[in-house]
């Protein structure tokens, strides 16, 4: 293996000759050999895009000449197109400000750009890791939510709309407290699922209004030292065009560096989405349970054998996968919430794990919704015979008699039917509270929905 010597303010260090990074990246590689989680590529791309935007802005403010500006932008754009992504190997578990990853990006761009470009003096001009890294977190999260997660949420909502319409007239027994309740249509039940997901989408979009305010221009502690006035607006304008997202400067840079409530707020909406998806997946799991000893009112697609020992078994695997994902997202929210509370004085120093957790949640939800939608929800069918049997045998249909005979007598009918294992009609006639004709006129599930 051939090596070259790189230098930084501490001294000299050996770097493999085929690597594009410099001394600070190498030191981080050697000093933080902790687990295997590396900085997400989406975060790296966000950082690179900021370097490109900053180079353009520094040129606008006459701090960087055309030659160096063009070299930095060209190198950055090559990375954004997918080249050299293996040159960003640093772990999540490093300095809490993300400084070493910021320098990793600076060093790789400088190495690619050549032209006597220095990673600190030129690529990092008018910047600090303390404002660049949180800006990258905002950009990466927003871009991934808008371009990846939201399209999957919308497709999922459309699938629920299709099922809602398809089963709008299919009457089934409702359930509360896991016990039989009054009738409902399957379409109505699904409409509740759909409305919850739609509400989640609204709240996620609302949270992006705040997340898309960027702390760039605050430099080290929020004062904007070594940064020209108006730099933040220029950078945000460039990033908006590059990402096709409306980014704008965060008004109070001290807030942007020290506090992470914007990220925590957006992720909290992902957590709410996770609780909604968990509920839907669990409902489907129970409604399809059986097929003979459970509820068995709906039928889910058969994707793979369900057991290594029991032939013919089919399990709700897509539901289980979705529920595991939701639990992980909820766990990530706890981690992000704790880390967001650790903004000591002028800087939060838990940013790498905040970024990692948030981007992981987005990726998990995006993939899980896609899988759950296509491999389960879109293929749901119904067991008409089982659904009608459960409906006809429900004791809670007696609720339709309450307006005529009162709650107490209706309850007496239900208890007698349960005790003697007879139908509600048989119990009602035995107690002589209504006639056969009256019972048939009043107890009609289609009129109870």
Which residue in 382, 378, 396 sits closest to 169, CA to CA?
A: 382
What is the spatial distance between Cα 307 and Cα 286, in angstroms, rounded to a whole number? 18
The CA-atom distances, in angstroms, between 263 and each of 136, 194, 202, 249 are: 11, 26, 17, 15
Judged by phi (left if over 0) then psi (alpha if -120 to 50, else beta), residue 222 lies in left
Which DSSP string corresponds to 399-447?
GGGHHHH-HHHHHHHHHHHHHHT--HHHHHHHHTSS-HHHHHHH--GGG
Catalytic one of 9, 36, 66, 177 = 177
Which residue in 242, 252, 46 sits closest to 132, CA to CA?
A: 46
What is the spatial distance between Cα 355 and Cα 330, in angstroms, rounded to a whole number? 15
Q: How far is C-alpha 155 from the geometric centre of its chain's CA atoms?
A: 15
CB contact set of 151 (below 8 Å; sequence gap of 6+) = none
**Residue 307 falls in the annotated catalytic set:** yes
HEC letters along 332-382: HHHHHHHHHCCEECCEECCHHHHHHHHHHHHHHHHHHHHHHHHHCHHHCEE
Helices (H), 32-128: 41-60, 66-80, 99-113
**Residue 177 falls in the annotated catalytic set:** yes
**The two three-digit tokens of residue 16, written as one number:** 């493999």
What is the spatial distance between Cα 46 and Cα 62, in angstroms, rounded to a whole number? 24
Catalytic one of 67, 168, 307, 435 = 307
Among all chains, which residue has been given the structure tokens 């989405």? 273
Q: What is the DSSP letter of 118?
A: -
Which DSSP string corresponds to 142-164?
HHHIIIIIHHHHHHHHHHHHHHH
Cα angle, residue 383 at apex, residues 381 and 388 outer, rounded to 5°: 135
Name the CA radius of gyration of the chain, rounded: 30
The CA-atom distances, in angstroms, between 244 and each of 19, 31, 45, 139, 141 are: 32, 38, 15, 11, 14
Catalytic residue annotation: 177, 307
């Amino acid at each position: 293996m051939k090596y070259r010597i790189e230098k930084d303010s501490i001294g000299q260090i050996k770097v493999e000759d085929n690597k594009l990074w410099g001394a600070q990246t190498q030191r981080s590689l050697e000093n933080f050999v902790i687990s295997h989680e590396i900085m997400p590529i989406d975060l790296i791309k966000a950082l690179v895009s900021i370097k490109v935007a900053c180079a353009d802005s520094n040129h606008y403010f006459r701090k960087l000449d055309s030659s160096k500006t063009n070299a930095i932008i060209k190198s950055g754009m090559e990375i954004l197109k997918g080249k050299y992504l293996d040159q960003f190997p640093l772990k999540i578990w490093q300095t809490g400000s993300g400084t070493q990853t910021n320098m990793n990006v600076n060093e790789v761009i400088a190495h690619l750009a050549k032209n006597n470009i220095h990673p600190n003096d030129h690529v990092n001009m008018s910047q600090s890791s303390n404002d660049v890294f949180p800006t990258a977190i905002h950009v990466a999260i927003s871009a991934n939510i808008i371009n990846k997660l939201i399209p999957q949420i919308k497709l999922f909502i459309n699938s629920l709309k299709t099922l809602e319409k398809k089963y709008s007239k299919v009457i089934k027994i409702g359930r509360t407290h896991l016990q039989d309740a009054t009738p409902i249509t399957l379409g109505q039940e699904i409409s509740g699922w759909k409305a919850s997901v739609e509400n989640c989408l609204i709240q996620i979009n609302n949270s992006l209004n705040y997340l898309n305010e960027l702390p760039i221009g605050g430099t080290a502690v929020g004062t904007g030292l070594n940064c020209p006035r108006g730099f933040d607006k220029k950078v945000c304008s460039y990033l908006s065009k590059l990402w096709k997202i409306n980014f704008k400067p965060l008004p109070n840079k001290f807030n942007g560096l020290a506090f992470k409530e914007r990220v925590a707020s957006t992720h909290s909406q992902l957590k709410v989405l996770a609780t909604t998806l968990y509920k839907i997946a669990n409902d489907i799991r129970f409604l399809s349970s059986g097929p003979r000893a459970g509820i068995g009112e709906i039928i889910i697609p058969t994707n793979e054998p369900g057991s290594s020992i029991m032939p013919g078994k089919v399990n709700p695997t897509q539901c289980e996968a979705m529920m595991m994902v939701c639990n992980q997202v909820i766990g990530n929210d706890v981690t992000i919430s704790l880390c967001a509370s650790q903004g000591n004085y002028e800087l939060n120093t838990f940013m790498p794990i905040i970024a990692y957790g948030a981007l992981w949640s987005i990726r998990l939800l995006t993939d899980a919704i896609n899988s759950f939608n296509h491999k389960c929800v879109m293929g749901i069918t119904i067991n008409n015979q089982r659904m009608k049997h459960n409906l006809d045998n429900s004791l809670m249909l007696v609720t339709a008699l309450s307006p005529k005979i009162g709650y107490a007598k209706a309850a007496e009918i239900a208890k007698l039917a349960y005790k003697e294992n007879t139908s509600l009609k048989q119990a009602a006639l035995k107690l002589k509270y209504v006639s056969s004709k009256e019972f048939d006129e009043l107890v009609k599930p289609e009129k109870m929905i």
